[in-house]
Structure 1
Amino acid sequence: MSLDAWIAVGVVLTIFPLMAFSRLGPDIILLGAVIGLMTLGVIDPQQALGGFSNSGLFTVAFMYVLVASIRETGGIDLIIRYVLRRPGSERGALVRLLLPVAALSAFVNNTPVVATYIPAVMSWSRRLRLSPQRLLMPLSFASILGGTITLFGTSTNLVVHGLLLERYPALGMGLLDLAWVGVPVAILGLVYLIVLGPRLLPAHEGVANAFANPREFTIEMEVDPAGVLVDRSVEEAGLRHLQALFLVEIERAGNVVSVVGPGEKLKGGDRLVFAGTSDAAVELQQIRGLIPSQDDTPSLEKAFKERRLVEAVVSSQCQFIGQRIRDGHFRTLYGAAVLAICRGGERVKGNLGQVRLQSADVLLLEARPPFIERHRQSRDFLLISELNGAARPVHEKAPLAWGILLGAVLLAALGVISLLNAAMLGAALALLSGCCSVGAAKRGLDTQVLLTIAASFGVGAALQSSGAAEVIGGGLLTLVAGNPLLLLIGTYVVVALLTELVTNNAAAVIVFPVVMSAAESLGVSPMPYVVAVMFAASASFLTPIGYQTNLMVYGPGGYKVSDFLRLGCGLNVLTGAIALVLIPLVWPF
C-alpha cells in the first residue's frame, strides 16, 4: 500500500476505539480525523467537504423537520391515546405497544417516537400493574425493526443510498424496495419480542419505584416565625453550603419558590425542602430558627404552577459526566435542582453533591416550567419528561402534519419526485402551514448526527482515493475464498459488530467503500452488499450504547447490560439470518 493508504487505515483504526471508549462525541472525532487527513494531503478540500453536499445528508435534515412537525402538533400523542388502552394480558400489552411503534418508525425517525412513548409507557405500566422493564426494551427494539422497512426509516438507509447514487447513479432504490426484506425481518422480530420478551426480561419497578416516595430523599423544615432566620437571606442563614444537603425550594403562602438562589429572603412560616438523606437531618436540627415541618403532605406531592418535577436521562455527551453535581454547578447552568438519582434501577444513596454523574443516569429534577422546552433538544439529555404530567393535548394541526408526511412518502414511493425533493417539499409545507415553527425546526435538527454523517464521507473518501479500500477489499476476498455469499455474510457480521460500538452511520459509511471494492473485484452486483450494510447497521440489539433509543430506555427501565445481551442476542441472530437469506433472493449477485 502507498503511504496515503497506510495513513488512511491508521486513522480508521484510531477512530473506532475512540468512538467506542472515549467521552468525545463521534462528530468531534470524525471531524478531527477529516482535518488530519486533509492536513496530511490524503484528501483534498473537495473530498473533505463532499459529505456536506451529499443528497442523503440533506434528505436526513429535511426529514428531521418533518418529524419535528409531528412532534410539535402532538401527532405521536394522538396515536398513543387511541392505541394504549387496556389490554387483557402482558403479551396483549406488547402487541398494542410494538405494532404501532414499528409502523411509525418506518416513516418517522425513531428517536422522537421512543422519546414520546417512554413517559406514556411508564404511566401505562403503572395503571396495568406491569413492570416497565418488560415494555421499554421491546419498545426500543421495535422502533429499530420498523426502521428497516423503508429508506425513510433510518438516517443510515438514506446516507448509504446517497453513497450508492454517487457511485452507481443508475442503481437508485425506491422508497419501499427495502420492504421485501424489512417487513419479514420486522414481523418475525416482533413475534420474537412478544413471545420471548416476558420470559427473558426481568420484572422490577425501576425508576418508577425509586422516585415514588419523596420522603425518602427530601427533608422538610419550617422557619420559626419568632426565630433568628426571619428576613435573613439563604446565604446569611447558612443554608447555602450545607455538607450533605441543599435547599431545593421554599413553600410560602400557597406558592413555591423553586430553584432557590442565595439572595432569597426567608419569611416566618416558610416551609423549606432540602434534598438529601434522613441521616443528614441532624445538621438541620442544629441550625437555630428552623423547626420540623408540621404538614403531613410532602411539598413535592403538591401541584404548583411555578415548578415542575422532571425526569431527565443523562446522555453520553453531557458535559457533567464524571463530575460531582456540587462541583459542576449543575443548578446554576440548568436552573434545576437534582432531587434524586437512579442508576441501574436503584436510587443512589448518600450525599447527592458528591455523586459523579454517569451516562444513562436518571435524574429527578425540580425546575421551573420553561426548563422542559428549553432543554428538550439539549445534547446533555437523552430524554426529558414531566413526572406524572398530564399528556400533552393533541393539537388541531396534528392530522395536517400527518397528511404532509404521508403525502411526501406517497410521492416518493410512486416515483413522482425523488426522496430529496419529497422531504424538501414536506418540510417546506410543514413550515408554511404552521405545523412547525422555524425555532422548532432548528431544535429538531440533530446536528451531531448530521456532522457525523458529513465527516464520515471524508474518511470514506480517504479509504477510496488512497487505494486502501481496494487493498482491504482484496484481503476480504482472500478470506472468503472469492465466494460472493461468504463476502455478504462477512459484510453483515462486521458492520453489525461495529454498530454496537460506534455510531451506525459511521460504521456504514466507512465500511461502504471497502465492500464496494470487494464486490467490483468479484464482478458481482453491489446491490446485495449495499442492502446488507443498511440492515446490519440497524442491528443494534446487544448493548445499550449501540443505538440512541437503547440508551434512552436503559436508565428509565433500570436495565443491566446483561439484560440487553439476554434479549438482544437471539434477536440479532434471528434478524441477521432472515436478512442474509432474503437479500440474495431479492437482489441476486
Structure 2
Amino acid sequence: MSLDAWVSVMVVLTIFPLMAFTRLGPDIILLGAVILLLTLGVIDPSEALGGFSNSGLFTVAFMYVLVAGIRETGGIDLLIRHVLKRPDSERTALGRLLIPVAALSGFLNNTPVVATYIPAVMSWSRRLALSPQRFLMPLSFASILGGTMTLFGTSTNLVVHGLLVERDPALDMGLFDLAWVGVPVAVIGLIYLIVLGPRLLPRRHSASTAFENPREFTIEMEVAPDGPLVDRSVEEAGLRHLQELFLVEIEREGNIVTVVGPGERLKANDRLVFAGTSDAAVELQQIRGLVPSRHGDFSLEKDFKERRLVEAVVSDQCQFIGRRIRDGHFRTLYGAAVLAICRGGERVSGNLGQVRLQPSDVLLLEARPPFIERHRQSRDFLLISQLNGAARPVHEKAGLAWGILGGVVMLAAFGLLSMLNATMLGAAAVLLTGCCSVSAAKRGLDTQVLLTIAASFGVGAALESSGAAAEVAQSALVLAGGSPLLLLIGVYFLVALLTELVTNNAAAVIVFPIVMASAESLEVNPMPFVVAVMFAASASFLTPIGYQTNLMVYGPGGYHFGDFLRLGGGLNLLTAAVALVLIPIVWPF
C-alpha cells in the first residue's frame, strides 16, 4: 500500500476505539480525522467537504423538520391515545405498543418517536399495574426494526443511498425497495419480542418507581420568626452542605425562590423545602431556628406557576459526566434543582450534591417552564419529560402535519419527485402552514448526527482515493475465498459489530467504499452488499450504547447491561439470518 493508504487505515483504526471508549462526541472525532487527513494531503478540500453537499445529508436534515412538525402538533400523542387503550394481557399490550411504533419508524426518525412514547408508556404501564421495564426495551427495538422497512426509516439508509446514487445513478432505489427484506425482518423481530419478550425481560423496579413518591425524599421546614437564622444567608445558617439533603427552594409570602444561592438571605416564616432522605429530617430538627412546617399541604404537590417536575435522562455528551453536581454548579447553569437521581433502577442515596453523574442517569428535577423547551433538544439530555403536566399538548394542526408527511411519502414512492425534492417541499409546507415554527425546526435538527455524517464522507473519501479501500477489499476477498456469499456474511457481521461500538452512520459510511471495491473486484452486483450495510448498521440490539434509542430507555427502564444481551442477542441473530437469506434472493449477485 502507498503511504497515503497506510495513513488512511491508521486514522480509521484510531477513530473506532476513540468513539467507543472516550467521551468525545463522534462528530468531534470524525471532524478531527478529516482535518488531519486534509493537513497530511491524503484528501483535498473538495473531498474533505464533499459530505456537506451530499443529497442524503440534506434529505436527513429535511426529514428532521418534518418530524419536528409532527412533534410540535402533538401528532404522535394523538396516535398513542387512540391505539394503546387497555389490553387484556401483557403480550396483547406489547402488540398494541410495538406494531404502531414499528410502522411509524418506517417514515419518521426513531429518536422523536421513542422520546414521545416513553412518558406515555410510563403512565400507561402504571394504569395496567405493570412495570414500564416490560415495555421500554421492546419499544426501542421495535423502532429500530421499523426503520429497516423504507429508505426514510433511518438516516443511515438515506446516507448510504446518497453515496450509492452519487457513485452510479443507475443504482437508484425506490422508497419501498427495502421492504422486500425489511418487512419480513420487522415482522419476525416483532413476533420474537411479543412471544419471548415477557420471558426474557427483567422484573426489577424502574426509575419511575424510585421517583413515584416525592414525600420519601422531600422535607419541609420553616424559619422561626424569633430565631437566630433570620437575615442570615443560607451559607451562614449552615444549610449549604448538609448530609443526605440540600435546600431546593424557599417559599416566601406566596412566591417561590428557586435555584437558591449560598448568599440568599433567610426571612422570618420562610418555608424551606429540602431534598434528601426522610432520615435527614432528624438533622434538620437539630438546627436551631428551624421549625417543622405548619402547612398541612405537601409543597411539591402544589401547582405553582413557576414550578415543574421534570424527568431527564443524562446523555453521554453531558458536560457534567464524571463531575459532582454541586461542584459543577448544576442549578446555576441549568436553572433546575436536582431532587433525586436514579441509577440502575435504584435511587442514589447520600448527599445528592456530591454524586458524580454517569451516562443514562435519570434525574428528577424541579425547574421553571422554559427549562423544558430550552433543553428538550440539548446534547446534555437524551430525554426530558414533564411529570406534573402534559409536556406536549395536542394541537389542531396534527392532522395537517400527518397529511404533509403522507404527501411526501406518496411523491417519493411514485417517483414524481426525488426523495430530496419531496422532503424539501414537505419541510417548507410544515413551516408555511404553521405546523412548526422556524425556531422549533432549528431545535429539531440533530446537528451532531448531521456533522457526524458529513465528516464520515471525508474519511470514506480518504480510504477510496488513497487506494486503501481496494487493498482492504482484496484482503477481505482472500479471507472469503472469493465467495460472494461468504463476503456478504462477513460484511454484515463486521458492520453489525462496529455499529454496537460507534455510531451506525459512521460505521456504514466508512465501510461503504470497501464494500464497493470488493464488489468491483468480484465483478458482481454491488447491491446485495450495500443493502447488507444498511441492515447491519441498524442491527443495534446488543448494548445500550449501540443506538440512541437504547440509551434513552436504559435509565428510565432501570435496565442492566446484561438485559440487552439477553433479549437483544437472539434478536440480532434472528434478524441477521432473515436478512442474509433474503438479500441475495431479492438482489442476486
Asked if structure 2 preserves the Cα contact closer than 8 Å seen for 1:214 and 1:298, the reply is no
Give 3-state SS (helix, strand or coil) of 1:152's partner: coil
Q: Does residue 587 in structure 1 map to residue 584 in structure 2? A: no
Whether the 8 Å contact between 1:277 and 1:351 is mirrored in structure 2 is no
Between the aligned partners of 1:514 and 1:110, the Cα distance in structure 2 is 28
| Aligned residue in 1 for 2:66 | 66
Q: Given that residues 77 and 391 in structure 1 are in contact (C-alpha distance below 8 angstroms), is that contact kept between their aligned partners in structure 2?
A: no
Equivalent positions of 1:282-293 (< 5 A) are 282-293=282-293
Kindly indicate whether residue 404 of structure 2 is the aligned counterpart of residue 404 of structure 1: yes
Q: Percent identity?
A: 83
Give the structure 2 partner of residue 551 of structure 1.
Answer: 551
CA contact (8 A) 2:205 2:346 kept: no
Q: Which moved more, 1:454-463 or 1:248-257?
A: 248-257
- Hey, what does 1:210 align to over in structure 2? 210
Using the alignment, how far apart are the partners of 2:296 and 2:573 within structure 1? 54
Letter in 1 for 2:186: A
Residue type of the partner of 2:27?
D
Q: Secondary structure at the match of 2:389?
A: coil
> Does the CA-based 8 Å contact 2:319-2:380 persist in structure 1?
yes
For 1:22, the aligned partner's letter is T
CA distance in 2, matches of 1:70, 1:494: 35
Cα separation, 2, equivalents of 1:125 and 1:270: 39
Name the residue aligned to 2:46: 46
1:157-186 per-position Cα deviation (integer Å, ceiling 9, x unaligned) = 000001101111110000111011111111
Report matched runs for 1:16-415 at 5 Å: 16-242=16-242, 244-390=244-390, 392-415=392-415
C-alpha contact 2:306 2:369 (8 A) present in aligned 1: yes
Partner SS for 1:248 = strand
Farther off after superposition, 231-240 or 470-479: 231-240
Deviation at 1:216, TM superposition (A): 2.6
Whether the 8 Å contact between 2:308 and 2:388 is mirrored in structure 1 is no
Q: Distance in 1 between matches of 2:444 and 2:234?
A: 39
CA distances 1:241-278 after superposition (whole Å, capped 9, x unpaired): 44543210123445533222345443333221112234
After superposition, give the CA deviation of every residue in 1:197-247 in whole Å (9 maximum; x if it has no partner).
100001233112111222332222111122233344434534334454321
Equivalent residue, structure 2, for 1:571: 571
Q: 1:78 to 1:416 in 2, by over 3 A?
A: same
Q: Measure the CA separation in 1 of the matches of 2:329 and 2:231.
A: 26
Write out per-residue CA displacement over residues 409-446 of structure 1, whole angstroms, 9 at most, x where no aligned residue: 11000000100000100001111111111100100000
Stretch of structure 1 that moved more, 572-581 or 302-311: 302-311
Separation in structure 1 between the aligned mates of residue 178 and residue 417 of structure 2, nearest angstrom: 18
Q: What is the alpha-carbon distance in structure 1 between the residues aligned to residue 253 and residue 201 of structure 2? A: 47
In structure 2, distance between residues paired with 1:271 and 1:84: 42
Paired amino acid for 1:79: L
Match of 1:560 in 2: 560
Distance in 2, Cα, partners of 1:172 & 1:373: 39
Which AA in structure 1 matches 2:365? L
Equivalent in the alignment of 1:477: 477
Partner letter of residue 415 of structure 1?
G
Matched residue of 2:63: which SS? helix
Gaps of 5+ in 1: none
Could you tell me which amino acid in structure 1 is paired with residue 478 of structure 2? T
Aligned to 2:5: 5
Aligned residue for 1:490, secondary structure, equals helix
* Residue 16 of structure 1, CA deviation: 0.3
TM-score (norm 1): 0.98
The alpha carbon displacement at 1:303 in A equals 2.2
Structure 2 distance, partners of 1:496, 1:201, is: 23
Cα displacement string for residues 432-465 of structure 1 (whole angstroms, at most 9, x for unaligned residues) = 1111111001000000000000000000000000
Q: Do the aligned residues in 2 keep the contact of 1:404 with 1:430 (CA within 8 Å)?
A: yes
User: What is the CA-CA distance between 1:286 and the residue it aligns to?
Assistant: 3.7
Q: Aligned AA for 1:374?
A: R
Q: Post-superposition shift, 1:392?
A: 3.5
Aligned equivalents of 2:282 and 2:131: distance in 1?
A: 37
> What is the alpha-carbon distance in structure 1 between the residues aligned to residue 355 and residue 402 of structure 2?
44
CA distance in 1, matches of 2:474, 2:502: 25
Secondary structure of 2:257's partner?
strand
Q: Distance in 2 between matches of 1:39 and 1:404?
A: 45
Q: Give unmatched runs, 5+ long, in structure 2.
A: none
CA contact 1:456–1:509 (8 Å) conserved in 2: yes
- Per-residue CA distance 1:117-147 (angstroms, 9 max, x = gap): 0001001100100111110000000000000
Work out the CA distance in 2 between the residues paired with 1:249 and 1:40. 55
Provide the residue aligned with 2:534 in structure 1. Answer: 534
Letter of the aligned partner of 1:144 in structure 2?
I
Matches of 2:276 and 2:81, distance apart in 1:
37
Greater shift, 293-302 or 515-524, is seen at 293-302
Contact in 2 for aligned 1:9/1:463 (Cα 8 Å):
yes
How far apart are the structure 2 equivalents of 1:173 and 1:371? 42
Determine the structure 2 residue equivalent to 1:445.
Answer: 445
* Amino acid across the alignment from 1:181: V
AA at the equivalent of 2:196: L
Q: Aligned partners of 1:472, 1:21: CA distance in 2, in Å?
A: 24
Q: How many residue pairs are counted as aligned between the two chains?
A: 589
Per-residue CA deviation, residues 37-87 of structure 1 (Å, 9 max, x unaligned), is 111111111100000000000000010001000101111111111111111
CA contact (8 A) 2:383 2:552 kept: yes
Q: Is the 8 A contact 2:243 2:350 kept in 1?
A: no
Shift of 1:298: 3.0
Letter in 2 for 1:582: L
CA deviation digits over 1:369-422, x for unaligned, max 9?
A: 111011000000000001243363310111111111110111000000100000
In 1, the alpha carbon distance for the partners of 2:315 and 2:70 equals: 24
